[in-house]
């Protein structure tokens, strides 16, 4: 496989929109997205609250839309997904997306609404690592995704189950339905399968990662946001996640989803096979560590630990609602009011990125 290219730039609030456009063009995004096709924006709402580092930033979303429109990509749509712990409507409102969609006339579709799209059975051409066994009755994907471009809009952050999360993990919500929790014990191989499916059904794939504020600690929600001022873009989903992980302080090939993606030829995960354009990030190391929170400790027991053999009893039956309630209670009713709100307030009042966030309607 030839070397992949990942564009990396440092930015600041005053120039971030133009920097994003420069970044995308530096990464030659138009070589990956077909003109004349609908382009799906797949933002990342890891938490409906406006928690810094957790979600697609409004400047990331706005800049990508502006760049697409300036370069003749006029058919743009955003697709939101539903998870058991996040509310898409609340998330797009609190994270300042709604006004951006209105300003640029971007339709928003929801993959969980029957009037927007239908889920159809899909038989991948690629050999699946796990999904065909997890869903023996058939792998279901949204019919709307076929023959359309997609741009993933993740952030640089840690994740309690995958160590880091980015472009590859961003497909998790869009391409799998509300039973996606069936895959958690084999989450790394699931992400590889999803990338293989994406390469078959989409007319083009690209990723733009925001690291203006990155998430250190037990993500994707209860993190310690840190201002880093970096943005990344690439047509190789494996490579952009590898560079992002390297910058956060992790060995990319030690992460199973990157290693497996490289192994089966879906992209380059080895740093020596990736050309970084723009900034010299050879010595960049944020020194991030994942750590644990209440959710990860439960997951360690049920998805990866001694209770793994009986996980179906908990997660494939109505008992799953106990864990859904527990997660919502822990994150929304305990952690956010006690710790998260203060972090959000301090960020918005005391950082330039926070002030930029507040400037959006």
Q: What percent of the chain has pLDDT above 70?
A: 88
- What is the structure's pLDDT at 295? 61
| 308 has pLDDT over 90 | no
Reported confidence tier of residue 330, pLDDT bands at 50, 70, 90: confident
Least confident of 137-151, 183-197, 280-294, 318-332: 318-332
What is the helix (H) or strand (E) element at residue 169, kind and residue range? helix 167-175
| 302 has pLDDT over 90 | no
In this structure, are residues 29 and 206 in contact, taking their beta carbons and an 8 Å threshold? Answer: yes
Higher pLDDT, 328 or 34: 34
DSSP 58-84: HHHHHHHHHHHHHTT---EEEEE---S
In this structure, are residues 214 and 226 in contact, taking their beta carbons and an 8 Å threshold? Answer: yes
How far apart CA 235 and CA 204 sit, in angstroms, is 9
Which domains, ranges and CATH numbers included, belong to the chain?
4-295 (3.40.50.11440)
| 343 has pLDDT over 80 | yes
pTM score, two decimals? 0.92
- What is the structure's pLDDT at 83? 78
Reported confidence tier of residue 316, pLDDT bands at 50, 70, 90: low
Reported confidence tier of residue 298, pLDDT bands at 50, 70, 90: low
pLDDT digits (tens, 9 = 90+) for 203-222: 999 999 999 999 999 999 99
| 32 has pLDDT over 80 | yes
Higher pLDDT, 82 or 29: 29
Reported confidence tier of residue 313, pLDDT bands at 50, 70, 90: very low
Closest to 175 in 3D by CA, of 147, 194, 153, 156: 194
Average pLDDT over the chain reads 91
Closest to 96 in 3D by CA, of 359, 340, 345, 336: 359
- What is the structure's pLDDT at 124? 97
| 357 has pLDDT over 80 | yes
């Amino acid at each position: 496989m030839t070397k992949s290219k990942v564009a990396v730039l440092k930015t600041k609030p005053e120039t971030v929109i133009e920097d994003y456009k420069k970044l995308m063009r530096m990464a030659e995004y138009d070589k990956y997205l077909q003109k004349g096709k609908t382009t799906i924006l797949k933002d990342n709402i890891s938490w409906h609250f406006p928690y810094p580092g957790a979600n697609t930033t409004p400047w990331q979303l706005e800049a990508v839309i502006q760049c697409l429109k300036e370069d003749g990509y006029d058919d743009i749509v955003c697709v939101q997904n539903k998870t058991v712990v996040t509310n898409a409507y609340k998330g797009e409102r609190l994270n300042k997306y709604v006004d951006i969609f209105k300003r640029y006339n971007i339709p928003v579709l929801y993959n969980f609404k029957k009037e927007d799209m239908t889920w159809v059975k899909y038989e991948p051409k690629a050999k699946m690592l796990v999904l065909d066994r997890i869903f023996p009755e058939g792998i279901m994907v949204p019919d709307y995704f076929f023959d359309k471009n997609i741009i993933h809009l993740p952030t640089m952050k840690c994740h309690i189950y995958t160590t880091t999360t980015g472009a590859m993990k961003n497909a998790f919500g869009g391409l799998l339905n509300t039973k996606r929790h069936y895959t958690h014990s084999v989450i790394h191989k699931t992400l590889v399968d999803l990338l293989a499916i994406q390469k078959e059904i989409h007319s083009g794939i690209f990723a733009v990662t925001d690291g203006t504020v990155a998430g250190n600690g037990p993500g994707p929600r209860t993190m310690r946001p840190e201002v880093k001022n970096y943005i990344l873009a690439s047509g190789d989903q494996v490579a952009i996640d590898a560079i992002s992980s390297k910058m956060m302080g992790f060995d990319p090939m030690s992460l199973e989803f990157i290693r497996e993606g490289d192994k089966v030829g879906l992209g380059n995960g080895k740093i020596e096979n990736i050309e970084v354009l723009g900034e010299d990030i050879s010595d960049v190391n944020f020194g991030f560590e994942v750590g644990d929170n209440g959710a990860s400790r439960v997951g360690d027991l049920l998805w990866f630990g001694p209770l793994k053999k009986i996980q179906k009893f908990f997660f494939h039956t109505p008992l799953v609602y106990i864990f859904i309630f527990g997660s919502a209670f822990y994150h929304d009713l305990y952690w956010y009011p006690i710790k998260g709100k203060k972090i959000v307030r301090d960020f918005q009042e005391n950082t330039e990125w926070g002030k930029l966030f507040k400037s959006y309607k």
